Chains A and B, each alone.
Chain A
Amino acid sequence: GTWCPLNMSQQAVNGVSHRGKVLTLDSMNPNVKRVEYAVRGPIVQRAVQIEKELKEGVKKPFTEVIKANIGDAHAMGQKPITFLRQVLALCSYPELLEDNMFPEDAKKRARRILESCGGHSIGAYSASQGIECIRQDVARYIERRDGGIPSSPDNIYLSTGASDAIVTMLKLLVCGEGRSRTGVMISIPQYPLYSAALADLGAVQISYYLDEDKCWSLDVAELRRALNAARQHCNPRVLCIINPGNPTGQVQSRQCIEDVIRFAKEEHLFLMADEVYQDNVYAEGCKFHSFKKVLFEMGPEYSSTVEMASFHSTSKCYMGECGFRGGYMEVINMDPEVKAQLTKLVSVRLCPPVPGQALLDLVVNPPQPDEPSYTTFMKERTAVLAALAEKARLTEETFNTVPGITCNPVQGAMYTFPRITLPQKAIDKAKEEGQVPDMYYCMRLLEEEGICLVPGSGFGQREGTFHFRMTILPPTEKLKVVLQKIREFHLRFTQEFS
């Protein structure tokens, strides 16, 4: 590059002799500047700073920061599942296979996983698509889950968390220029990985609103409205749906899933079904229906034509093993030439972390009733899911007693996304401070109570409405305290700006 930096003359004016940077705000990829990710954004950075201050002895109205911003169960005290960690320890240091501290079924699984690794080590690269026998196990798990509908290991791609696979798929799907640039439908509210990826790829975001008054359900009429409007300025090709939902927690009904599939077929859209919370279903009358299962039950007219990718992960459900970055996607009805491109794309990052792959293998291959670890495994799993269900209920119940906070039932996933009514004076004050109103609210809550939430503006919401996302993950006793503090804060805040 022999072009001159834009700030060169300014520096010359200042008498500074050194030259401007090669990589500047002007020369850098403009798409990257549009990327935001609220879950780890400014409020979290302030929370980390406050934690530092507390450590240094600065006096505050609280003694710890409660990070209810991120879906991280272990960080909030949830214990890992014993069986999973036993097998992983054995894989990590196979000498332990000689140790009678570990049950036989754990050893058997460890040996099998090690057998499938290069040099019998979890430190060897795997194939970019993931270890073959683990993909086979994942395919069998999907078949069992979906009542026998066949799944091919060739259509399974292991990934570094579900996020990696989601971004990879979007990379593959986004193309075109100007009016023919790919449009991607995402829900409002949504998990901001999607909006971040679309910004990064320079894709067109097509927002469809979930219906807050109907428990955040999805309405095909709304999909149609959004799509038709979008056709004016882009080429819509993809429809993303998160079920169970994040941040909203709704579990879609079977009818709704059918309607979405029908819509995707009619409008020739690629379906991306984010199902990472599939085990996190709490509400009476709610059930997880996999998109693939519903697709196939709709008959060959749909099951042989609709192109789809579904995503799962080891970060949520009962395992909560976020730090392993384990996940997979299953692709359905993908064009073979596109698959070849996908294979090339995944090779750039070499391979997903092998411990994450091993962990996934255990999730799809848990202890069976006749195995020694079964009882403990089931007890632990049930306890985790029951605790989450109880916390979901407690959260909804408590927030709905607060005037100015309305909370939909937390049917599934790990979050609550209540709507907050903000006095006009508070909205004005936020403007003065140069912040969006719910960010202002959340920042005040952080400074006054040491509770870190994510403002609804980070996920998207209807104009003029405000929300926050809180995880339901803190231990029950702590959660009660958090809910109480938020209640008190909200009343104080409303009072202050009345």
Chain B
Amino acid sequence: MKQLEYVVLARRVSQIKEELRQGVRKPYKEVIDVSWGDPHRAGLKPLTFVRQVLSTCLYPELMNSNRLPADVRQRAQRLLGGCAGGSVGSYTATEGIPEIVHSVSEFITRRDGGVPSDPENIYISPGSQWALTNILNVLVNREASTRTGVLTPMPCHSATTLGIMGLGGVVVPYYLSEEQGWELQVEDLHQALESAKGVCNPVALYVINPGNPSGQVQSRKSMQEVIRFVSERRLFLLADEVYQDCIYGENSEFVSYKKVLTEMGPPLSDTVELASFHSASKGFMGECGLRGGYVELVNLDPAVLKYIKTLFSTDSCAPVLGQLALDLMMNPPQPGDPSYPLYDMETQHIRTTLVHNAKRAVSVLNSLQGFCCQPVEGGAFAFPRVYLPPKAIQKAKEVGMQPDTFYCIRLLEEAGLLFSAGCEYGQKEGTHHIRFCIMAPEDVMEELLKRLTSFHTQFMKEFS
């Protein structure tokens, strides 16, 4: 496994933060860290209702007073009722607290316009990547004479590709079409299968919708093509849908793979094997640090499901606060509840901010010579292409860095912006990209874009 590019940046950012603490003079007062898909890190606030309920669950004394609204106290009481010994410090059932697993299945049914969801097929895990790794572990046969392949998008966030490789699987990239807004085109899926011939035995297709790092939201038509493809080519479909609540484009709409599959009717709806993933890390809540995610399994062989259950059991259970966060995400305050007005205000504010940021970032980037950014219809990131001058590429080579890592290091040093480099995600040979999180307060985004504009102009001039 090659050296992780971001380690270079991470090391430097620690040093810079220390230098700033010691009063070293720099062109900026603080580093803006938008290298992770982490809304809180970037400055967005947690939802008040969520944190009030969690703190009450942690310290139930808080129920014995009126400092917190009635619905907070009621929810905490209900949630603690599902915890053994009434404590969030107890282990839970492997698949998650039963009431919460039910909440998840009810949420899925509501979201998908009535498509039934079986709680028996849902596992809550410490974040969605954990569940994905477990499912991949079942799919990837290390003992087979031919290595197992998993089709993954190019570009793709590194946790998934590292996860596949760590299990002894082969990453089989399928290109997303940058010029068409990072669209997934089925020809590229065919191309990927071709490339796998003689190299590995592909068993699964991983798709992330909305995308990471691309900001693409898949059309229904494209999803139907993917479903037909996996059915014809006998692939297990892994649908990562953690950004389903992050939709910005006016003409964009999230529809789940399960819903599309169901709408396509039998035989596809009864046969295509699907695992879909969601999490409390993104969306309005942004509770990445609580590690609450889940997987829903559809059309799996019941005999295999037994082994999947045993596999999850060795992890004991997901952290209880993460499970509670999922419940709060699935069951937010409703109109009429005391907490509703504030909840509504906070979520509307976040929604407006993100829609604004998505537009603004793309607009600013596309106004600058040397950048080209596809529309950010959804997800957490802008992933513009950077047209680096040959002299900059040369300089990067001299210092032993990938060209986009070099750009990012200079960006960090001179503008105090921590982005991540496109080479981390895979990109077409000869192209370069940078990724930054757009889930941030508006003023932080403005400051970021201002610094970026100034730096970029300077950088392009320097290497012209």
Contacts and interface: CB of A to CB of B under 8 A. Distances in A.
A354 B46 CA distance: 14
Contacts of A340: 3
A63 interface: no
A37 B4 CA distance: 34
Nearest to B318: A325
B303 interface: yes
Contacts of A322: 89-91, 316
Contact of B319 (A27, A118, A202, A356): A356
A21 B94 contact: no
Given A123-B46, A348-B162, A325 B289 contact: no
Contacts of A77: 85
B187 interface: no
A28 B289 contact: no
A286 interface: no
Contacts of A349: 126-127, 129-130, 133, 159
Given A22-B236, A124-B288, A323-B89, A350 B129 contact: yes
B321 A324 contact: yes
A3 B83 CA distance: 46
B85 A76 contact: yes
Contacts of A321: 89
B28 to A, nearest CB: 18
Interface in A307-325: 319-325
Interface in A176-222: 193, 196-197, 200, 202
Nearest to A118: B41
A494 B25 CA distance: 81
B101 interface: no
Interface string A72-111: 1111111010000110111011001001010000000000
B186 interface: no
B141 A93 contact: no
Contacts of A35: 307, 310-311, 314
Interface string B267-283: 10011010000000000
Contact of A72 (B84, B142, B311): B84
A213 B92 CA distance: 36
B1 interface: yes
B126 to A, nearest CB: 5
B452 interface: no
A29 B316 CA distance: 21
B241 interface: no
Interface string B1-31: 1011001001000100000000000000000
B46 A72 contact: no
B286 interface: yes
B38 interface: yes
Interface residues of A, number: 87
A340 B40 CA distance: 28
Contact of A123 (B1, B288, B313): B288
Contacts of B314: 35, 37, 163, 193, 196-197, 200
B126 A160 contact: yes
A353 B322 contact: yes
A341 B289 CA distance: 23
A353 B303 CA distance: 32
B10 A127 contact: yes
Interface stretch (B54-62, B331-339, B384-392, B396-404): B54-62
Nearest to B135: A23
Contact of A30 (B85, B141, B291): B141
A348 B301 CA distance: 27
A70 interface: yes
A124 B38 contact: yes
Given A23-B301, A40-B94, A356-B319, A350 B88 contact: no
Contacts of B133: 348-349
B4 A75 contact: no
Given A92-B55, A125-B36, A23 B89 contact: no
Interface in B293-322: 299-301, 303-304, 307-308, 310-311, 313-322
A225 interface: no
A13 interface: no
A70 B85 CA distance: 14
A122 interface: yes
Interface in A149-186: 160-161, 163-164, 171
Contacts of B127: 349-350
A80 B291 CA distance: 22
A320 B89 CA distance: 7
Contacts of B249: none
A18 B321 contact: no
B307 A28 contact: yes
A353 B321 CA distance: 9
4 closest cross-chain pairs (CB), A and B: A118-B41, A354-B289, A75-B84, A323-B320
Given A24-B304, A88-B58, A354-B289, 6 more contacts: A23-B139, A32-B310, A88-B55, A101-B67, A163-B316, A322-B91
14 contacts: A5-B234, A29-B140, A101-B65, A117-B40, A118-B38, A121-B46, A122-B290, A124-B41, A125-B38, A324-B88, A347-B158, A347-B162, A348-B159, A353-B322
